[in-house]
Chains A and B, each alone.
Chain A
Amino acid sequence: MTLVLEAVLLGILTGGVYALMASGLTLIFGVMRIINVGHGALVVLGAYLSFAIVSSLHIDPILSLVVTMPAMFALGVALQIVFIRPLKTDREALSVLVTYALALGIEGLLGYIFTSNYVQLRAWYETASFPVFGFRIAYVYVFGFGLCLAILAAMFWMLYRTSFGGAIRATMLNRTAAQLIGVNVDRVSALAFGVGVATAAAGGVIFGITNSFNPGSHYDLISRLLTIIVLGGLGSLRGAVIGAMIMLITTDVTAVLISPLWASFAFFVILIAVLIVRPQGLYGIKVRDRA
């Protein structure tokens, strides 16, 4: 029983990181109606950027976010302008291919620079732990959860309390109508992509402390993130957070009760069960037109 409780608690804590990464992905989908298959690669890129900074400056990995988040924001805006904006027809399908190509390019570049050996971000709190109800929780999970919660809160605040957030939500609801009432949709899209990629950087740091990673790690990551946002309903931030929690709790509990081998499988089973009952996901709206 303690084991299950521990698994649930760990699931919630690590779920925070996935909630953050998935929110960036679902925000990008919501605003632009594109699936950013390169999101996992961007998370890994963020982790490697922090890795490079930490190994040269010997500072705390979380502190490196001061540099990597703005850098990744700028990269995101640039990527949107160069690769996503030119897609006029058949956006949804073509964007999948473009972002997939970006993922491959990032994987190749990282492999060329850092080789495909596994690395991990080091910090004092990575293994240090404190006791809770008779088991120990590593500080890194708590710090990571706190950081992700803070960034998520900032994101929600931006979306619901600022006029830029209003423009984003208007674009998500109806692109054409938003344009008609004077929202600069192109600008909003570029900035939203930047915000999404910046959250990938933040997620990357925590991911990099809790996991060892290599340039190919993005395949596993993106398949998890995509299934999270499909479970939650594409374009729904609330759905992304809930979906992430369900995924991490399910996998952690399965790992304890059955076997770590079947952990991700259990989540896929839940995903398929949800899709049979609710094809649009937990919080999704039914897609009528495919335009």
Chain B
Amino acid sequence: MRRMSRTGAIKAGALVAGLALALVLPFVAPDPATTNIAVFTVMYVGLATAWNIMGGYTGYISLGHAAFFGFGAYALGLLLSHFGIAAGFQPFFFVPVAGILTAVIAVAIGWIALRTRAATFVIVTIACMFMLQLLAENLVGLTGGGAGLSFPVPRWSGDFFNIPYYFAMLALALVGLALSWWIRGSKFGLGLLAIRDDEDKALAVGVPTRAFKLTAFVISAVLVGMIGAVYGYYVTYIYPQFVIDPLVGISMVLMVFLGGMGTLWGPVLGAVILEPAQLWLAYNFGASRLYLVFYAAVFLVVILLLPRGIIPSVMELLRRRRQHRAEGPTGRASDTHETPRAVPRGAAP
């Protein structure tokens, strides 16, 4: 076995420490207001990571992932009421079933949307989201329409209530991260990155682009759908405009952009920074619509100042400093602009 390098050891240490912190957090700070923030933050870690598998790796920007989020929530809610599942821990076991149902709809939407590219793809995903919202509203017999859908409410005490949801969200986020890590180093992942860099060339060298894109799209959608299912059970009552919310779809995208598109930890970083900030803004300014103005301002500053995201910018800075040290102050300045785009596992954070 190769001995671990110093940076490797630091990375492993940080990973263990982060995981340990995530596991003990609800016991260290058990008051419901804090655990509520924790539930939503971990939820967005999962959503952003899932979105990144499609958007970050292939470069196909979907602004309609809120559709899968809402679909997953509706799927679980309808499953529970159809089979008469009582509140408690059992509903969590139906989350994967909601995920399978999301896969079905994701294959259909992906098959159509992925016939288009770039800008058209973005718009088609938005259109599909509004279409699903419209269906949720119009199929009154199935979804309850605008009157909404209620979930069974567990009779847990106030201090305990959030904790099962927190761990469900955490489990999904970890599954997402593990998948994202595995994909990034696999041949499949390299194919996805090749699609991002130049789809036609990727096809020419034998990457099965259509199958790869659809697979990434479905993996990403299923994760989002399962997270949506847990969310629906957590908030206990959903209606079309609330659960298929364009803001949810755009938030996960913004988090990925803030942290760094196509990196493993970028979405995590973006979610951990933005979601608590968003909750704080909504809590303090939610009554007046100024909340939206603040949110928009944060959004614009992030994109205009850090268009590549935090992690790629910091890595670039570190790399330059290292190169500078190695070559002396008069070292050549070329080759420092472009980082290699298809990075093998472990080379990027």
Q: Is A227 in contact with chain B by the CB < 8 A criterion? A: yes
Interface centre among A35, A104, A109, A272 (most CB of B within 10 A): A104
Interface centre among B123, B135, B300 (most CB of A within 10 A): B123
Q: Are B289's CB and A107's CB within 8 A?
A: yes
Q: Are B123's CB and A287's CB within 8 A?
A: no
Which of B115, B127, B200, B299 is in CB contact (< 8 Å) with A101?
B299
User: Measured between C-beta atoms, what is the minimum distance from B240 to chain A in Å?
Assistant: 12
Q: Is A70 in contact with chain B by the CB < 8 A criterion? A: no
CA distance A264 to B253 in the complex (A): 27
CA distance A271 to B126 in the complex (A): 13
Q: Is B257 in contact with chain A by the CB < 8 A criterion? A: yes
Q: Are A261's CB and B127's CB within 8 A?
A: no
A152-189 with Cβ < 8 A to chain B: none
Q: Are A109's CB and B293's CB within 8 A?
A: yes
Judged by DSSP, the binding face of B is helix
- In the complex, chain B residues whose CB is within 8 Å of the CB of A261: 137-138
**Chain A residue at minimum C-beta to C-beta distance from B109:** A272
Interface size grouping (class) on chain A: 35 or more
Q: Are A83's CB and B300's CB within 8 A?
A: yes
Q: Is A146 in contact with chain B by the CB < 8 A criterion? A: no
Q: Are B63's CB and A268's CB within 8 A?
A: no
- In the complex, chain A residues whose CB is within 8 Å of the CB of B299: 97-98, 100-101, 104
Q: B31-67 vs A: 1/0 string, CB under 8 Å?
A: 0000000000000000000000000000101010000
Q: Are A92's CB and B292's CB within 8 A?
A: no
CA distance A284 to B124 in the complex (A): 15
Q: Are A265's CB and B118's CB within 8 A?
A: no
- In the complex, chain B residues whose CB is within 8 Å of the CB of A120: none
Q: Are A268's CB and B131's CB within 8 A?
A: yes
Q: A65-108 vs B: 1/0 string, CB under 8 Å?
A: 00000000000000000010011111011101110111011011
- In the complex, chain B residues whose CB is within 8 Å of the CB of A29: 119
Of the 9-residue stretches A9-17, A55-63, A274-282, which lies at the interface with chain B?
A: A274-282
User: Measured between C-beta atoms, what is the minimum distance from B304 to chain A in Å?
Assistant: 6
Q: Is B120 in contact with chain A by the CB < 8 A criterion? A: yes
Interface size grouping (class) on chain B: 35 or more
User: Measured between C-beta atoms, what is the minimum distance from A94 to chain B in Å?
Assistant: 6
- In the complex, chain A residues whose CB is within 8 Å of the CB of B119: 29, 33, 35, 92, 234
Q: Are A100's CB and B250's CB within 8 A?
A: yes
Q: Are B289's CB and A116's CB within 8 A?
A: yes
CA distance A265 to B257 in the complex (A): 32
User: Measured between C-beta atoms, what is the minimum distance from B228 to chain A in Å?
Assistant: 19
- In the complex, chain B residues whose CB is within 8 Å of the CB of A93: 59, 61, 122
- In the complex, chain A residues whose CB is within 8 Å of the CB of B320: none
Q: Are A35's CB and B122's CB within 8 A?
A: yes
Interface positions of B (Cβ within 8 A of A): 59, 61, 63, 112, 115-120, 122-124, 126-127, 130-131, 134-135, 137-138, 198-200, 246, 250, 253-254, 257, 288-297, 299-300, 303-304, 307-308
* 27 A-B pairs in the complex with CB atoms less than 8 angstroms apart: A33-B119, A87-B307, A89-B308, A90-B307, A93-B59, A94-B303, A96-B61, A97-B254, A98-B303, A100-B250, A104-B292, A104-B296, A105-B292, A105-B296, A105-B297, A108-B293, A110-B289, A215-B289, A223-B127, A223-B130, A227-B123, A234-B120, A268-B131, A272-B112, A287-B118, A290-B118, A290-B199
* Interchain residue pairs A-B with the least CB separation, the first 7: A108-B292, A111-B289, A105-B296, A101-B299, A108-B293, A104-B296, A279-B115
Interface positions of A (Cβ within 8 A of B): 29, 33, 35, 83, 86-90, 92-94, 96-98, 100-102, 104-105, 107-112, 116, 215, 219, 223, 226-227, 229-230, 234, 261-262, 264-265, 268, 271-272, 275-276, 279-281, 284, 287-290
Known contacts A35-B122, A98-B304, A105-B293; 7 additional CB pairs below 8 A are A97-B253, A104-B296, A108-B290, A109-B289, A268-B131, A276-B112, A290-B199
